[in-house]
Amino acid sequence: MCTSLSFGSPHLFGRNLDLDVPFPAQPTLTPRNFPLSFRKAGNFLHHYSFFGMATVVNGYPLYADAVNEKGLGMAGLNFPQNACYAQNCDVGKHNVSPFELIPWVLAQCATCDEAKRLLKSTNLVHLPFSQSIALTPLHWHVADASSSIVFERTNEGAFVYDNPYGVLANNPPFPEQIKSAQAQAPLFLAPMQNGRVEPSFSGDFSSPSRFLRAAILRALSPKMTEKKQSVAQFFDILSSVSPVSGAVITERGAFQETLYSCCLDFTTRTCYLRQKGDPHTHVFSYFKAQEDNRSLLSLTKKRTG
């Protein structure tokens, strides 16, 4: 269970990461001159810089979500029972593993249109990072300041969808999420009147409910004039779709909770981070000059709010 969000102007991008096991991600910058190696798609010695939440393993950043220097954001969300990766390479396409997809796109695309073209020529192939780190079934939310898309690969093939809602949850496949939202959202796209007692939109933590709730609250959000207000509103929306402990139980019998919520702002090179069990918002950032480094950089904590 996860929910991602593209919001506001200037553009903010981020997500809730909901799991029932630890995930030791940290705010991480991949600079322009950090060598990126892809298993089947070659190497990049120079590329766009990008930062977000990553687990670094053997010097390689495994990103859950990130934004690049052009303002393009991307997040991978759990997509169990539906994600289906190719077993073989396609000589007519770029063959990329799911764990490489966020660096593959953010290193070379500045807009959603560019990402859409690249993803249509990409074959998502089943290549695990290592014997001990299996591939996760994922689909991806990609967004810039003016548009949003979703990339999925199921047993029916690979698809890139326009996403007018600017949010993504998990299952079902995106066309079904859109169909459900289109059927229900027109009923609720107005602020609630004080004292109204009839039911509003769904309040559970299933994927369709979280998708619809986040999409409606995003659509109802007023235009913010200050960055502080935008960031606060961003986290308010994510909080509305964050499962409360005890509300969601997995097949293993464990409670699924939000391990972190992040808000990435490329204009100020800032990661706002909230973590499970910590009521504070921690602010991480880096300097523009560091975008030209050759080594991965753990972002520096600037303050706690």
Return the pLDDT at 167. 96
Q: CATH number, domain at 124?
A: 3.60.60.10
Identified catalytic residue from 2, 262, 263, 271: 2
User: What are the tens digits of pLDDT across the range 104-125?
Assistant: 999 999 999 999 999 999 999 9
Domain of 11 in residue numbering reads as: 2-192+199-304
pLDDT (0 to 100) of residue 185: 58
pLDDT tens for the chain, 305 residues: list them.
799 999 988 899 999 999 877 888 999 999 999 999 999 999 999 999 999 999 999 999 999 999 999 999 999 999 999 999 999 999 999 999 999 999 999 999 999 999 999 999 999 999 999 988 999 999 999 999 999 999 999 999 999 999 999 999 999 999 998 887 777 655 455 444 444 444 455 567 788 888 988 998 998 898 888 899 999 999 999 999 998 766 566 676 667 789 999 999 999 999 999 999 898 999 999 999 999 999 999 999 998 87
Does the annotation count 2 as an active-site position?
A: yes
Which single residue is written with the structure tokens 């509300």?
247
Q: Of 252, 284, 298, which is closest to residue 19 (Cα–Cα)?
A: 252
pLDDT, position 197: 40
User: Residue 250 has what pLDDT?
Assistant: 67
**What pLDDT is attached to residue 181?**
74
- Looking at the structure of the chain, the number of domains it has is 1
At 141-165, the pLDDT tens digits run 999 999 999 999 999 999 999 999 9
